[in-house]
Chains A and B, each alone.
Chain A
Amino acid sequence: MSLKRRVDALAMPPRWIFSPIIDNYIKVFNSQDFTRFYFNSILIGLFTILFVLIIGIPASYTLSKMNFRGKKDIDFWILSTRMAPPVGILIPYFLIFKNLGILDTRASIVIMHIALNLSFAIWVMKGFFAEIPKGIEEAALVDGCSHWRAFIRIILPLVAPGLVATAIIVFLFSWNELLFAVTLAGNASKTVPVALYNFVSYEEIDWGPLSASAMLALIPVLVFISFVQKQLIKGLTLGAISK
């Protein structure tokens, strides 16, 4: 659809043969600084993953393997941070960020996305950590490794597929997130979904550029996934060796 003229796009029966034009793609780029939004979204997505993984993965490991008082409650409380309906928390967040003076900054969106995805990363990774046989950690500890060292050198590579899956999904959630991106962002920090939605205007839906921008929106995602898949294969081989 991204290559058709508007009238062809909706014709039913579908027009399979049409004169494709890249005008739609050009229009997308010309309108409202699309490259800037692209950049914003990519930046926000990458930072979100970075923080979510760094903060979340160690916590996830501890919650899956260790036992201590109140663990179950902490577990559940982390889960509950994801439960609130976004509508309920939209206005409070807006007020808070406004008072902090960080509205319309990429930082505020990154903060929101971390909040939204941290619990997901932690809980999903718990499942992967649970798949690691007990023997491995205990062997490492007996050998004199500190917990942190065992964690980084031995455990992490074993859950590489899980890390990859989590990273992909967190990136996707962040990339496609619309509600908070619209409310908290302004001109400077606009993201791709917001820009894409702009092709739905009053009394008209511009299908050509909409599809074109949707296609363009897909590209970084696909790039990211294929990049990360290579790491996946690496991680698997590492895991096999350590076994």
Chain B
Amino acid sequence: MIKKSKKSVVLLGLSFIFILCVSAFASDLAEFEKASINWRQKEGERLLVGMNKHGFTDAIQQFLPEFEQLTGIKVTLDVYPEEEFRKKRLVTMAGGGGIYDVFMIDQALYQYAEAGWVEPLMTYIENPDLTDNNWYDFEDIFDKARGFGEYKGVFYALPITGEAEILFYRSDLNEEKGLAVPQSMDELYENAKKLKSDSIAGIVLRGQRGWGANVWPWSGFLWTYDGRYFDADDNPAFNSPEAVAATEMYAKLLIDAGPQAPASYNWYEVQSDIALGKAAMGIDTGMFMAVYEDPEKSEVAGKMGYITMPGVNGKKSVPNFHYWQIAMDPKSVHKEAAWLFIQWATSKNILLPVAVKNGTAPRASIWNNEEFLSKYSKEWAEASSQGLASADPSLVPYYKPEFSEFGEILSIAISDVITQTKDCQEALNFAVEETKKILNK
């Protein structure tokens, strides 16, 4: 008899705890249930989502149990590092797809769209049974970000991050040397030279070859100097006088005021050099800020300043930008369930904690959100959002599926200029010639 009552006490206690837990979840779910759609309409289905390692992925992993609670859909995340995931995603889709229902994607989106490997999403967004736009607020997403997910007028992917190319500098070193924050490229160059010493580089920039390496920040220079990837007749134009000027400045900064081996610098080296006090300035993605301000990861927390890229000739700069996105496999057999997941993952409630943790977001409302802004310096938030605003997606070369090919050739040219192996005009001319050959194939 005693045993029985012990049992029931335990049972009672457990169910009490259980109710507590459920109500804890329930209060979070309440946010989602404000949407007027039936989240449970695809209950019981399973999804496989391919992602690369990213702050976003970590956050989603954390919130997955909530999603399952909300919808009854079981989701498995398959996570790989960026380069490996690109390979795997490619092999999977080239092999016929049908494995990942949803996957993360970047500039390769246009290649994939051309090949028919991504599902158009507009029908899902406009379907009132699947999407409550009052709640979801599609328009809240930066229109530039939305444009980034379009190819030939069809919308394929939703953005999950938003980052812009900005300038970071050591405000303490500037003070020491009595330098003002550079407003133009020429000022940047002068400052960098003055800041350079035996123990610290004046500025660091990506120099390593790769269509995703030095080309990314270099593009910001190209556009700021009023250069273009393609001219009005769609001919490659990155050997124009403007492009040459941009490249010469890029190289000058590295050769005269940069680190010892700039041609080996990818984003990681740029980030680390500054974080460990080996470089005074850098131009790269605003997301680095999250690392710089973390004392566990950097020695310069609290000493950094952030501002938009310097301009040229009194004009504002046109920085580069990036949005990671998620898309759907057209061969998926769980398309509606996949859409529910995508909608959930790109909703305000999920993107906000991601933004707070990682300093990146594609939604205007988040950039104005108190919680987000309070965590990061106002200066940085201004620099980043201004950067995102001045960025111009129409200039981006990714829309041509051949981008990875001519991008690589361009990156080799830039690398050659940085190592002073080739003269600037000569290197860019060669790149343009090769690009023409590629585009005519």
Chain B residues with CB under 8 Å of A76's CB are none
Chain B residue nearest to A98 in the complex (CB): B95
A186 to B98, CA, bound (A): 14
Q: Does chain B have a CB within 8 A of A145?
A: no
Q: Mark B270-296, 1 if CB is under 8 A from A, else 0.
A: 011001101000000101100100011
CB distance from B415 to the nearest CB of A (A): 22
Of the listed stretches B72-80, B149-157, B222-230, B372-380, name the one at the interface; the rest are far from the partner chain: B72-80
Q: Which of A88-96, A131-139, A218-226 contacts B (4 or more CB under 8 A)?
A: A88-96
7 chain-A/chain-B pairs, Cβ below 8 angstroms:
A94-B91, A198-B79, A199-B81, A200-B81, A201-B55, A202-B53, A203-B271
User: Quick check: A91 and B296 within 8 Å, CB to CB?
Assistant: no
**Contact between A203 and B288 (Cβ–Cβ < 8 Å)?**
yes
**Contact of B295 with A203 in the complex, beta carbons under 8 Å:** no
B52 at the interface (CB under 8 A from A): yes
0/1 string, A169-196, CB within 8 A of B gives 1: 0000000001100110011000000100
The interface residues of chain B lying within 8 Å CB-to-CB of A182 are: 80, 84, 87-88
Closest 5 CB pairs of A and B: A201-B53, A202-B54, A200-B81, A197-B81, A182-B84
A81 sits at the interface (CB 8 A): no
Q: CA A31 – CA B229 in complex, angstroms?
A: 42
B78 neighbours in A (Cβ, 8 Å)? 186-187
* Interface pair A198/B80, CB less than 8 Å apart: yes
CA distance A90 to B95 in the complex (A): 11
B180 an interface residue at 8 Å Cβ cutoff? no
Contacts of B94 in A (CB 8 A): 91, 94
Q: Contact at B95–A194, with CB atoms within 8 Å? A: no
Which chain B residues numbered 20 to 70 have a C-beta less than 8 Å away from chain A? 52-55
Cβ of B332 under 8 Å from chain A: no
Q: Which residues of B contact A (CB under 8 A)?
A: 52-55, 76, 78-82, 84, 87-88, 91-92, 94-96, 99, 267-268, 271-272, 275-276, 278, 285, 287-288, 291, 295-299, 324
User: Is the C-beta of A126 less than 8 angstroms from some C-beta in chain B?
Assistant: no
The answer to whether residues A203 and B80 also contact, given A7-B296, A11-B276 and a CB cut-off of 8 A, is no
Within 8 A of B (CB), among A55-91: 90-91
Given the known inter-chain contacts A32-B79, A201-B54, A205-B268, please indicate yes or no for A10 contacting B285, CB distance below 8 A. no
Check B84 against A194 for contact (C-beta < 8 Å). yes
Contact of B298 among A7, A90, A103 (CB under 8 A): A7
**Bound: A200/B84 CA distance, A:** 10
Known: A198-B53, A203-B291. A7 touches B95 (CB 8 A): no
B96 and A10: CB pair below 8 A? no
If over half of B's interface residues share one DSSP class (helix, strand or loop), that class is named, otherwise mixed; here it is: mixed
Q: Which residues of B contact A7 (CB under 8 A)?
A: 275-276, 295-299
For B81, give its contact among A32, A183, A198 (CB under 8 Å). A198
Residues on the B chain within 8 Å of A90, using CB:
91
Cross-chain pair count, CB within 8 angstroms? 79
Shortest distance in angstroms between B210's beta carbon and chain A's nearest beta carbon? 15
Within 8 A of B (CB), among A1-20: 5-7, 10-12
Please classify how large the interface on chain A is, using the bins under 10, 10 to 19, 20 to 34, 35 or more: 20 to 34
Q: Are A6 and B296 in contact (CB under 8 A)?
A: yes
Q: How far does the Cβ of A232 sit from chain B's closest Cβ, in whole Å?
A: 36
* Chain A residue at smallest Cβ distance from B268: A205
A199–B78 alpha-carbon span in the complex (Å):
14
Query: Min CB distance, A187 to chain B, in Å?
Result: 5
Cβ of A143 within 8 Å of any chain B Cβ, yes or no, is no
Additional A-B contact list (19), CB under 8 Å, known A10-B276, A178-B84, A198-B79? A5-B296, A7-B295, A7-B296, A7-B298, A11-B276, A91-B91, A94-B91, A95-B95, A95-B96, A98-B95, A103-B99, A182-B80, A183-B91, A186-B99, A194-B80, A201-B52, A202-B53, A202-B54, A202-B82
Report A172 CB to chain B, min CB distance, Å. 20
Min Cβ gap A19→B in Å is: 13
A94 with B52, Cβ < 8 A, contacts A183-B87, A197-B84, A203-B285 known: no
Indicate if the CB atoms of A201 and B81 lie closer than 8 Å. Answer: yes
CA of A164 to CA of B151, assembled, Å: 57
- List, in ascending order, chain B residues with CB within 8 A of A12's CB: 276, 278
Using CB atoms, name the residue of chain A closest to B272. Answer: A10
Residues in chain B near residue A198, CB distance under 8 A: 53, 79-81
Closest to B98 in A: A98
A194 partner residues in chain B, CB cutoff 8 A? 80, 84
Query: Chain B's nearest CB lies how many Å from the CB of A107?
Result: 18
Distance in Å from the Cβ of A43 to the closest Cβ of chain B? 20
Q: How far, in Å, is B428 (CB) from chain A's closest CB?
A: 29
**When chains A and B are docked, how far (Å) is the Cα of A159 from the Cα of B99?**
46
**From residue B179, how far is it (CB to closest CB) to chain A in Å?**
25
Q: How far is the CA of A32 from the CA of B61 in the complex (A)?
A: 10
Query: Smallest Cβ distance from B100 to chain A, in angstroms?
Result: 10
Looking at the assembled complex, report how far the CB atom of A190 sits from the nearest CB atom of chain B, in whole angstroms: 9
Instruction: Give Cα A199–Cα B268 distance, bound, in whole angstroms.
Output: 13
Q: Which residue of A lies closest to B100 (CB)?
A: A186
Residues of B contacting A10 with CB < 8 Å?
Answer: 272, 275-276
A205 CB contacts on chain B under 8 angstroms = 268
The answer to whether B96 touches A98 (Cβ under 8 A) is yes
Minimum CB–CB distance from B164 to chain A (whole Å) comes to: 14
